[in-house]
Amino acid sequence: MLEEVLSDLGRAFAAGLLTGGAFVAMRGAALRSVNQYLHPSWWRGRRDSIHAERRLAAIVIVDVVGYSRLMNADEEGTHARLQNYRRTVIEPKIHEHRGRIVKNTGDGALIEFGSAVDAVRCALEMQQTMMVRNAGVQQTRRMDLRMAIGLGDVIVEPDDIYGHAVNLVARIEGLAGAGDICVSAEIWKLVRGTIAANFVDLGEAMLKNIADPVHVFAISPDF
């Protein structure tokens, strides 16, 4: 454990010396593990509370359908287009609806919202915007998003969230096709009285590594 800390600190220090400002932008596991030792709240947290910090969250996973295929066909163009969508669609919409990007993955993001209603509204608006952007774009260059939303009582660490629900949402996303938003029944129950949208009951699905069947709904804009 001490060795691990020292090695992480060493790596962080070296990186800091070598790259200056870039240290701030360092991402991934190394930084996370360094952060948790460096951050005063880590020590404080361990002393003060018996239990991990948790919070209720609507967890959204979004990614690009057929990203590998698109990258294969046009690496730089695909990358540039995804970065453009991130900056002009995904990030502004998340901000507008009070969400937080927990982390960017290669072809998408893990996002958390403090409200299920905010999460679903954001997903619907992102898909609507993508639909408009994609109108007229030729099939081979077209970038479609798929999304999944689930509810969790997640364990909160400074730079990440953990919990069964994160895995569950990743599995639900596997059911979504281009332009789709798939949500768990828990999310559906929380938003059905508030959001005017089309809800389609997809029934229960057995998902890999998830013990109980999961009841899933598809949500689409109500034009």
Rounded Cα gap, residues 141 and 176, in angstroms: 20
**Considering beta carbons, is residue 108 or 152 the nearer one to its own copies?**
152
Q: How far is the CB of 147 from its own copies (least distance, A)?
A: 18
Residue 153 vs 201, nearer CB to its own copies: 153
Instruction: Measure Cα distances from 193 to 94, 147, 190 in Å.
Output: 22, 21, 7
Query: Residue 155: how many CB atoms within 10 A of its CB?
Result: 15
Q: Which residues contact 164 (CB under 8 A, 6 or more apart)?
A: 152
For its own copies, give the closer residue by CB, 74 or 153. 153
Smallest gap from residue 23 Cβ to its own copies (A): 32
Residue 21 or 46 with smaller CB distance to its own copies: 46
- CA separation for the pair 203, 216 (Å, rounded): 6
Q: How far is the CB of 54 from its own copies (least distance, A)?
A: 4
Interface positions with its own copies (CB under 8 A): 51, 53-58, 97-98, 114-118, 121, 151-153, 164, 186, 189-191, 193-194
> Min. distance of Cβ 138 from its own copies in angstroms?
35
Exposed, middle or buried, 44 (CB in 10 Å: 0-12/13-18/19+)?
A: exposed
